[in-house]
Chain A
C-alpha cells in the first residue's frame, strides 16, 4: 500500500504538472521567453542575477521546505489517512501550487517586486501594509508552535537534544572552516558531514534530560543570542548542515517507502469531525488548511517566491518548474510522511502502550489525538517513530533504529530550531515597520519598540510563553490561520493580476480558489473563535486570550482584504 500510494502520488503530480500546470503557463500567464526576465533586464550582480533553473529550484525548495510539511500531516491523521492525502494532492495542485506559481509570475512581471508590493498596487496600500501585521503574528505563532514541537522531541528522546548541541558545535567549527580558512569548499563539506555523523552517534551517549519548561528557557536565550550574532558564525553553516540532513532524510524515506510494501494500519477515514483542536470536534472543512499548511498550501511561499526567486529567474518559462514544481515536491514529501505514519503509526502507538481498547478503527476519530498525546507520541514524535520503524522494516534495516530515530529527530528539530532565530530577525523588521505610524505621535514608544533588544525579546518571549503554557493544537491552528490568511491575500493578488493586468479569460483558475480559500479561512476563523477558543481561555486564560486577540485581529483584517478585493473589482476582467 505504501508503495502504491507513493507511485500514485508521483504519477498524479507529474500528470497534473504537465496538463494543468502547463495550461496555466501557456494560456493564462502566457509565460514566454520573448519577454526578458528581470534578472536579465535589471541585472545588477547582487539581487538580480539569473540562476540556472536547477540551482534556483534547489534554493527555492530549500527555502520553503521545513518542519511544517511533516507536522501537519501527522496531526491530520485523526481524520484517517485519506482526507489529508486528498488535500495534499488536490489542494496542492489546484490551490497551493497555483498560488505559488502566480505569486512568482506576478512578481516577475512586476520587475521582481514582492507580492506585498503587487498587492498594494492592485488592491490598495492598506492591504500591502497589513502584510507586516500578519507576518508578525505568523512569526510569533510559529515560534510558539515549533518551540513546543522541539521541546516535545527533546523530552521524548533526550539523545536528540544532545545530538543537536553537538551539531551546533559542528556548525560553529564549520563556519570557521568555510569562512576563515583557505580550506576548499568540498573538503569543508566533507568535514562538516563527518562531524554531523559524529554528532548523531554522540547524541544517545550523552543524553540531556531536562524538563519541557527548562527547554523553553533554553530556547529563549538561544533565540536572543543566535539572532544577534553575525550570520557567518552560526546561521549559514548551520543551515548548510541542515540541508544535508534533509537530503539524507528524504533519500532514506523514499527508498524505504517505495520498497517496504506495507499495508496501511491507520483507517482510511474516521469521521468528518474527530476530536482534535482544543478537544473539540474539528470538521475537516474548514479546518484542514489550518492543519496542513506547507505541503499543500502556504502563504509564506508567496513571500519566498516573490522575494528572492523571482529576481533570479533566468527565463519566464522556468517559472513553472520553480514555483509549481517545488510545491509539488513538497507535496511529495508530505505524501511520504502520510504513507509512513499510515503504515507504521499504529504499531508505534501500540508499542508505546496504547492498547486496542483505547484506540481502534472504530473510535479513531474520537481517540487518536488524545491517545497519541498521552504517550507523547503525537505530531513530530509520531512521525519520527513511524519513520524509524519504516526504515527498520525495509531492506535498509541494517541501519540501527536508534540512529535512524536520532536522524529523524535531528531533521525535524533542526528545521524547527532554525525557524526560531530567523523569525526573530524578521520580527525585528516587522515591528519597526508596524511601529512607524507611532513615530510622530508617540516618539518614546516608537524608540522603545525599535530598540534592537526589545524588538528581539518581544516575539521570543511571547512565542515561548505560549509554547510553554498553551494548548499546542490551538497554537498550530492559529499559525495555520495566519499562514493561510497570507495565502488568501496572495491568491487574491494573483487573481487580481490575471484580471486587471493580463485581462485573461481564464481568470477563474485563480478567482475561484481565491474565493474558496477566503470563505474557508473565514469559516475556520469563526469556528476557531466561537467553538475552540472559549475552552482554551477557560483552561489557561493568559495564553488563551493572547491567541484570541491575535485571531480576532486577523479575522478583522480578513474582511479588510475581501473588501479591497471586491472594491478594486479584482475578480473580473476590467
Chain B
C-alpha cells in the first residue's frame, strides 16, 4: 500500500517533469522576449547614443514605463561580450 509520502513523491516527480517539459518548450521564446525588449529599449534610446531613432520625446514619454526594459538593457550591455556559453546552453549541441 503506497504511503502518503510515496504518493507525494510520485506527484512531485510528475510535477517536476511537467515543469521541465514546459520550460523546455518555452525556453527559447523567453530568450526571444528578453532580446526583443532589449531591442525596443535600444531603439527608443538610440538618439542619445547617435543611433537613428524616433523623435526623442517618445523616449521621454515612455521611459517611466520601461523599467523592465532598462534592466534588461543594462544586463545585456554587460553580458553581450560573453554570450557564447549562454547560447551553447540554450541550443544544446551534444
Contact = CB atoms under 8 A, between A and B. Distances in A.
Task: Indicate whether A and B are direct neighbours in the complex (CB within 8 Å).
Answer: yes
Interface of A: 44-47, 51-52, 54-55, 58-59, 62-69, 107, 113-117, 131-132, 135, 139, 142, 178-179, 185-186, 189, 231-232, 235-237, 239-240, 243, 294, 298, 300-309, 311, 415, 419, 422-423, 425-426, 429-430, 433
A202 B81 CA distance: 46
Contacts of B85: 107, 114-116, 302-304, 306-307
Nearest to B81: A117
Nearest to A51: B23
Contact of B84 (A135, A243, A415): A135
A47 B30 CA distance: 9
A67 B92 CA distance: 11
Contact of B88 (A107, A189, A303): A303
Given A422-B93, A423-B93, A307 B17 contact: no
A235 B91 CA distance: 9
Given A304-B92, A426-B93, A240 B82 contact: no
Given A54-B16, A59-B23, A240-B21, A300 B28 contact: no
Contact of B75 (A44, A54, A113): A44
Interface string B54-71: 000000000000001001
B49 interface: no
Nearest to A132: B84
B79 to A, nearest CB: 8
A219 to B, nearest CB: 16
B8 interface: no
B43 interface: no
B78 to A, nearest CB: 10
Contact of B16 (A58, A178, A235): A58
Contact of B21 (A189, A294, A422): A189
A240 B23 CA distance: 10
B10 interface: no
Main SS class of interface, A? helix
B72 to A, nearest CB: 6
B84 A430 contact: yes
Given A46-B72, A54-B16, A58-B16, A68 B25 contact: no
Interface residues of B, number: 37
Interface in B1-46: 12-13, 16-30, 32, 34
Interface of B: 12-13, 16-30, 32, 34, 68, 71-72, 75, 79, 82-94
Contacts of A54: 12-13, 16, 19-20
Contacts of A415: 94
Contact of A55 (B20, B68, B79, B82): B20
A306 B88 CA distance: 10
A484 to B, nearest CB: 14
11 contacts: A44-B75, A59-B23, A65-B92, A68-B94, A185-B22, A232-B29, A294-B94, A300-B94, A306-B89, A307-B89, A426-B93
A425 B21 contact: no
In the A-B complex, list the 3 residue pairs whose CB atoms are closest, starting with the nearest. Answer: A307-B89, A114-B85, A308-B89
A419 B94 contact: yes
Contacts of B13: 54
B17 to A, nearest CB: 7
A117 B91 contact: no
B92 A47 contact: no
B32 A429 contact: no
Contacts of B25: 178, 185, 236-237, 240
B93 A66 contact: yes
Contacts of A433: 84
Nearest to A237: B25
A114 B22 CA distance: 25
A46 B70 CA distance: 13
B55 to A, nearest CB: 29
A57 B20 CA distance: 9
A310 B71 CA distance: 20
Contact of A422 (B17, B19, B20, B91): B91
Given A46-B75, A47-B34, A308 B90 contact: yes
A273 B88 CA distance: 35
A307 B90 contact: yes
A303 B89 contact: yes
Contacts of A186: 18
Interface centre among A117, A232, A240, A308 (most CB of B within 10 A): A308
A64 B92 contact: yes
Contacts of B21: 58, 189, 240, 243
Contacts of A132: 84
Nearest to A293: B94
A149 to B, nearest CB: 13
Contact of A142 (B83, B86, B93): B93
Nearest to B30: A46
Contacts of A65: 92, 94
